């Protein structure tokens, strides 16, 4: 059985590796038209919601509480966002550990099991850590267990509903023998690992 709590911690650990390596916060990333700074702003934004939603708040209630902090994210520099990430990481981890995975959580698209939200957020962390690394011309391995779990999540929850408003169309050529699970998962979200791997930061 997949230990998503441990995998969420592993995905969060990726930022210890990638954030100190960022030298250009305005560099384009594989995430649609976002820069490295905008990717991290999104990551912090998503994390800020977690404790309130897991505590039983509705989307509207948590949004009201976060109105000021979320607005300020758009004005922050990359280093300021790094500090925000470091500040929110521990409370988020504690919230995950303290919430039964068979509870329900109120999300923008309705009620969902906490286990689904945890997997979705772990996927989000892993993919966006890679986005930031790629924006700097670096690769970012996830580790075998995280790769397999994220790919399983993508195939089960995203491949049948591509969410064109969130992802570019899947990139072909990354779903065969010998292809790393991470590359397959990234390609299913519209990212081309071969285009970004080893790409020099501009």
Write phi, then psi, for 110 (nearest 5 degrees).
Answer: 120, -170
Query: What is the tally of structural domains in the chain?
Result: 1
DSSP string computed for 93-132: HHHHHTS-TTSEEEETTEEEEHHHHHHHHHHHHHHHHHHH
Which pLDDT value is given to residue 169? 85
Asked if the structure places residue 41 within a domain, the reply is yes
Asked if the structure places residue 124 within a domain, the reply is yes
Asked if the structure places residue 25 within a domain, the reply is no
Asked if the structure places residue 24 within a domain, the reply is no
pLDDT digits (tens, 9 = 90+) for 47-58: 999 999 999 999
* DSSP-assigned letter for residue 30: S
Write phi, then psi, for 160 (nearest 5 degrees).
Answer: -80, -10
Helix (H, G, I), strand (E, B) or coil at 134: helix
Asked if the structure places residue 42 within a domain, the reply is yes
And the tokens for 167?
A: 């992802």
pLDDT digits (tens, 9 = 90+) for 49-96: 999 999 999 999 999 999 999 999 999 999 999 999 999 999 999 999
Q: How many helices (H) and strands (E) does the chain have?
A: 8, 2
Asked if the structure places residue 202 within a domain, the reply is no
Cross-strand bridge partners of residue 110: 107
Asked if the structure places residue 93 within a domain, the reply is yes
Range of the domain at 102: 4-19+30-196
Asked if the structure places residue 201 within a domain, the reply is no
Do residues 154 and 119 touch, judged by C-beta distance below 8 A?
no
Going from the C-alpha of 21 to that of each of 28, 29, 110, 143, 179, the distances in angstroms are 15, 14, 38, 19, 26
Q: Please, which pLDDT band fits residue 200 given cuts at 50, 70 and 90? A: very low
Supply the CATH number for residue 97's domain: 1.20.120.450
Which pLDDT value is given to residue 10? 98
pLDDT digits (tens, 9 = 90+) for 9-29: 999 999 999 999 999 999 999
């Amino acid at each position: 059985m997949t230990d998503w709590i441990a995998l969420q911690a592993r995905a969060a650990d990726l930022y210890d590796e990638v954030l100190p390596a960022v030298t250009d916060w305005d560099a384009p990333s594989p995430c649609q038209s976002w820069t490295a700074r905008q990717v991290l702003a999104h990551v912090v934004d998503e994390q800020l919601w977690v404790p309130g939603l897991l505590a039983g708040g509705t989307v509207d209630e948590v949004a009201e509480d976060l109105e000021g902090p979320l607005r300020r994210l758009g004005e922050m520099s990359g280093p300021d966002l790094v500090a925000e990430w470091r500040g929110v990481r521990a409370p988020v981890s504690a919230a995950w550990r303290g919430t039964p995975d068979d509870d329900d959580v109120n999300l923008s698209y309705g009620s969902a099991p906490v286990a689904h939200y945890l997997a979705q957020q772990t996927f989000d962390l892993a993919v966006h850590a890679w986005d930031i690394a790629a924006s700097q011309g670096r690769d970012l391995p996830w580790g075998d267990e995280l790769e397999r779990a994220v790919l399983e999540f993508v195939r089960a929850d995203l491949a049948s509903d591509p969410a064109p408003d969130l992802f570019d169309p899947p990139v072909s050529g990354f779903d065969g023998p010998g292809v790393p699970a991470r590359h397959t998962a990234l390609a299913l979200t519209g990212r081309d690992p071969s285009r970004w791997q080893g790409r020099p930061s501009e």
